[in-house]
Structure 1
């Protein structure tokens, strides 16, 4: 009989309550997933719980475990008709644990104000705070001087007052949480919050400015905001900007840690305007929602080096092959391009096209003339100019490319309305002698 067999049998329920609390919290995998939406992929892998705990029934013992587990009571969502007594109970049972606060459409009534007062007294414990409020509500006044030393994530959505704003009222750029939020990392400002609430952003790594269809920002205001986020890694801007393109004498604002940039706007100049305003040498992912073919022209005429740019997403956009060719020529490090119904790796696609053409001897690439002389001047020689549409080599090239590009997942058409024949036709205008020669040079 082993020493293990000699140990006395102890039912799981006899373990101390604090041990049960630790096990219960460690296993809350499903609930924790929602808190990771703004995290990097690498962080998500390390944060996921190793298992999940479910209680099959409720007993007096497990009720005691729940009451003693402070983290089970740290989520407080205040809405109209929310009971002050309930808020008081949650604050008491949460003990000293950090709080996740949601304040949604809180009316200026005595019961609601009592709840807000209680929560503000515990502002040092706020970890996550979501606010949806009217501009002239008492809540917006209370958070101006509030200190939130543990706050990590803040989301604010502001609705302007239904009445006319009085002349003595000035909420533009009003700072909030002036008491300090040194741990603040994630900030989302929606609707009119960008104009009327300005938390300190010096420690923020993820920032979302969603004011599309509202009052446009001035370029000066854009520069002020960009200058206040030196640690930013993930930036999303949805809205319009007056005089979006910077003046020639303006220096680009350095964002040395920016990895992902997302832009969406109804005004075409905003895309190039933001890209020309910043200097983000480590940028890896660029998402341009709704960008049109000519919107990037100012940027592509004077691009700066983005040596780490590996993914460009053109959601809801219809770029011509020639314009996308110019994007790739400017940033040859691209490994992924996403368009409407199409995702492909341009670098690998061009490499495969170059290899197959050399194998077939279609064009001696080292002698290829990169341009064609036309009545309107020289034009790039495209793949279509190098192929004879009526020749067998046309079909052979299409077949070999389909075999290699699809099987190696270089082109993803699984969830697309595109056929490979359509992609091949598109490819004939995208691929030019210039980039084929560039691919040949790389191989050498």
Structure 2
């Protein structure tokens, strides 16, 4: 019998076809894709941190000469230009050479600068470096797909105004995020930084723009025709005098019928005053956002928020994020959970002269909401219970109970006496909330519960309670705020994280272990008090009624 012949051809990863290696490189560079959750990289209250795989293309190009030739010829690997250090300027120049071979790939650009007092020469970007950054990227403005710019210094802002105001159209730009916010120290510095009106950017020619995020930056609202056909809109950190007039605000929403997410962080339309141009429309002129799925609300005044919600209808909403501390938001919670509206909120039925009044709710789809994220919320326990009771279809709840109060937890878990006047709380069918109602848990279809600020004992108690009351075969996924720095502070929570919770299997046929996942909720911020020195934030100086206009 003849022996099998062995091939002399090389085997292993080096023998893979070029096409397959190219595909692997592209997939690797796309792992931890930064736009998977949001089109916006910068957050109003967080620093930007690049994903661990952001340098994947560099790593594979340094493995061997064969891989390097393949990587350098794969133009799509070199289209992400992030500037956070001076060395990134020369890196971007090399990237642009590598991705110019075809000229068809679009560019995603981030420019992250720091304030002058935080600048470390050779380490961070500030006024001397931002000019070089723009000189590199402006010649390629027609290939920009995403542009994120963070400015923390007035001189950097001046450079940005110059380049974005003179660069010409950006015909392929889909995502525009402009961030400018700084501690001005004195009212005089604030005036010098904000007295100039906003500039027109990109010659007002952004035909493919879909995502807009303005953090501390305003635009010439009435002269920005590209603010339409948006999919995602974020406005953040705007004092009232630089917010868009209600007419411009309403036009943005009405001309963006496919809007999918709306995030307001201390922003929104400018409050109505005696000026007729700032007058809000009546509550009968409702803006229908038929495709809006995600609504995020942070640091808004309760009355302002209620007035805003009375003028919108969000029938497709599936996700709400709330970070509303320090004031009483009970009226807002009652507004969105009420099944009938009174007074100005009742619309006459237009289909018949004799029919009953047509009831309008801002969020008619609330019972079908799938995701609720509570960063902070101040409201009465009764209104909190009413909200939870309305959310019959909720699948995911994320809540930081260190910022909403222990009493909210007691309401959620059905603890007796957690609601004052408990018998007067009724659901939409008119039934009283009584002890027998507690046999069925609130949020019966919950699948993921992400919680922080709760002790291990309380979490175990709720795991066991819901396990005993569960009617479906799906187990609840528990995710708790915890990290190694907290080990030893709550021994029960430590053990829960390490080994899970032992529960009796359904039907009493043995025991199961409910595993608990963790997330790092970050270190608690320590308050620092500086004696003899007063640092004035933008908001505090605005409260001194410095009448200025701010713009990029």
TM-score category (smaller protein): 0.5 to 0.7
- Cα distance in structure 2, aligned partners of 1:334 and 1:21: 42
Alpha-carbon offset, residue 233 of structure 1: 0.5
Are 1:232 and 2:292 counterparts?
no
What residue is the counterpart of 1:222 in the other structure? 249
Change (3 A) 1:287 1:246: farther
Alpha-carbon offset, residue 261 of structure 1: 0.6
Are 1:170 and 2:206 counterparts?
no
Alpha-carbon offset, residue 114 of structure 1: 5.4
Alpha-carbon offset, residue 191 of structure 1: 1.8
What residue is the counterpart of 2:27 in the other structure? 26
Change (3 A) 1:331 1:67: closer
Alpha-carbon offset, residue 38 of structure 1: 1.2
Select the residue among 369, 379, 400 that pairs with 1:319.
379
What residue is the counterpart of 1:243 in the other structure? 271
Residues paired across the two proteins, number: 367
What residue is the counterpart of 1:306 in the other structure? 364
Alpha-carbon offset, residue 258 of structure 1: 0.3
- Cα distance in structure 1, aligned partners of 2:390 and 2:451: 29
Contact 1:271 1:295 in 2 (8 A): no
Change (3 A) 1:412 1:329: closer
Contact 1:156 1:190 in 2 (8 A): yes
Alpha-carbon offset, residue 24 of structure 1: 1.4
Unaligned runs of 5+ in 2: 40-52, 114-124, 273-278, 346-359, 415-422, 463-552
Alpha-carbon offset, residue 317 of structure 1: 1.5
Question: What is the alpha-carbon root mean square deviation over aligned residues?
Answer: 4.9
TM-score, length basis structure 2:
0.53
Contact 1:108 1:137 in 2 (8 A): no
SS of equivalent to 2:23 = helix
Change (3 A) 1:76 1:247: closer
- Cα distance in structure 2, aligned partners of 1:411 and 1:58: 41
Alpha-carbon offset, residue 104 of structure 1: 3.2
TM-score, length basis structure 1:
0.64
Select the residue among 43, 63, 68 that pairs with 1:63.
68
Q: What aligned pairs does 1:360-379 form with structure 2 within 5 A after superposition?
A: none
Alpha-carbon offset, residue 238 of structure 1: 0.6
- Cα distance in structure 2, aligned partners of 1:420 and 1:80: 44
What residue is the counterpart of 1:261 in the other structure? 295
Q: What aligned pairs does 1:380-419 form with structure 2 within 5 A after superposition?
A: 382-384=432-434, 416-417=454-455, 419=458
Contact 1:21 1:66 in 2 (8 A): yes
Structure number with larger C-alpha Rg: 1
Contact 1:214 1:239 in 2 (8 A): no
Kindly provide the CA deviation profile for residues 343-382 of structure 1, in whole angstroms up to 9, marking residues without a partner as x. 99x99x99xxxxxxxxxxxxxxxxxxx979xxxxxxx884
Contact 1:293 1:323 in 2 (8 A): no
SS of equivalent to 1:137 = helix
Are 1:99 and 2:107 counterparts?
yes
Change (3 A) 1:210 1:195: farther
Contact 2:392 2:445 in 1 (8 A): no
What residue is the counterpart of 2:476 in the other structure? none
- Cα distance in structure 2, aligned partners of 1:312 and 1:421: 22
Are 1:155 and 2:177 counterparts?
yes
Change (3 A) 1:179 1:125: same
SS of equivalent to 2:309 = helix
- The answer to which structure, 1 or 2, has the higher relative contact order (CA under 8 A, 6+ apart) is 2
SS of equivalent to 2:170 = coil
